[in-house]
Amino acid sequence: MSPEVSAERRRKTGRTLPEGGTVRLFTNHREALFSRRPNRFLIIAQDGNEEIPCHCPNPGRLVEFVFPGARLILEQRRPLPPEPGAPLRSPPPRAKTGWTAAGIYYRDGVAPLFSSRANKAAEVLILKKIIPGLREIHREFTLGASRFDFLCIDGKGNRHLVEVKACSLIEYGVAMFPDAPSSRALKHLEELAALRAEGYSCHVLFVIVHGNPRVFIPNLHTDPAFAAALSRYGSTGDRPGVKIHAALLCCNREGTAILTSAAVPVDLSHGKLAESNRGNYLILLKIPEPTEISAGSLGPRLYAPGWYVYTGSAQKNLSTRINRHLRKIRKQKHWHLDYLTPYAETIKALPILSYRNLECSLAKALADLGGRAVPGFGSSDCRCESHLYYFADPPMGNRAFVDLLLRFRHEEGLKREV
């Protein structure tokens, strides 16, 4: 990979540094209510009796947002005019939907959903803040077989490669990225770590698009490999490594965003926890019909149709334990849960990495949420009434349950043992 940027390439791709304190992330053409999300790229919105299919520009899980009745901001889909001087391109294929879910009202503000437009905010508002003396910006810079969001050149001729990631998961004062496993983000990070040896200053910029977090950390619960790598390769301050930055935007309902902080504190100290593969988990099972099941020493019991949430822990090999629970066959029955899983129509795992064993605390939280205990299930070695709780409706469709999950991931799980 050549470390040089030719004068001809600079002439063609170099950008005049933008001025101004705002950036338009979307246009509010209409508003509607969230109805459902059939797949990660499609949202069905509701406006009165009208159903509106909308493109979802954020492929993440968005579990904190997608509840029926949440108010969406929709942008009409149409080709954008080319920027002055930009090369003409063939017209884009016809969109399958006429609208994009551009933003959502959440808590006391607006959360933009256009993850790809974080680059625009970075270019206009942030890059000058994190790279002193910035002189040139080159978008989508190709280096060998890799492409990076920006190549920036400062007044001393130093070359800076910058990868930008949009962060929309902010709960309990903690911003996390990603909200789903991202092999692409890990690949970019590893490439940047290698390119430091070729004379580049390398950066990852997390653009936090709403809320008021006190700290940013990598999401060790949903992507422990990325979290461990960010802690291993990343650095803050003057220490050597890939420079990790987090900046905070505030966006209004019209889609105009301002930069409220270019330096949200970054905490990379949880990398060892991510590598340790220890913590807790919730297993969600759907039993489709009344079923009599004998769970070991508990004897035969009738399990009503509905959802069951089981809480457990593993002080090592957490992922192996979870994968075992997800298998319905080819395993010897050891835990009470092993007797239940063969009858489940759906099984879902929610890991919670933590420094402490939170198994009993999770069980109590499920009881406080209104879950009906299955007496003695999974709790033979503690004083809890049960570690399995029944819910008539899907737990992930219950905002209080999702808030429980986020509280344990963003707050309880990060508390170190004393």
Amino acid 176: pLDDT: 98
Q: Which domains does the chain have, with CATH numbers?
A: 7-19+116-274 (3.40.1350.60), 26-81+94-106 (2.40.50.580), 277-414 (no CATH)
For residues 215 and 314, give the distance between their C-alpha atoms in angstroms, rounded to a whole number.
27
In whole angstroms, what is the distance from residue 99 CA to residue 115 CA? 16
- pLDDT confidence of residue 79: 52
Which pTM was predicted?
Answer: 0.89
Q: How many CA atoms lie within 13 A of 111 on its CB side?
A: 26
* b/e burial code for range 30-50 (CB count within 10 A of at least 16 → b): eebebbebeeeeebbbbeeee
Residues 329/341, Cβ–Cβ less than 8 Å: no
Query: What is the reported pLDDT for 83?
Result: 53
Nearest to 258 by CA among 203, 204, 210: 210
Asked if the peptide bond before residue 178 counts as cis, ω within 30 degrees of 0, the response is yes
Write out the chain's pLDDT in tens, 418 residues.
344 444 444 333 344 444 458 999 999 999 999 999 999 999 999 999 999 999 999 999 999 999 999 999 999 987 555 555 555 454 444 457 899 999 999 998 999 999 999 999 999 999 999 999 999 999 999 998 889 999 999 999 999 999 999 999 999 999 999 999 999 999 999 999 999 999 999 999 999 999 999 999 999 999 999 999 999 999 998 789 999 999 999 999 999 999 999 999 999 999 999 999 999 999 999 999 999 999 988 999 999 999 999 999 999 999 999 999 998 877 788 899 999 999 999 999 999 999 999 999 999 999 999 999 999 999 988 999 999 999 999 999 999 999 999 999 999 999 997 6
pLDDT computed for residue 302 by the predictor? 96
pLDDT at residue 194, rounded to an integer: 94
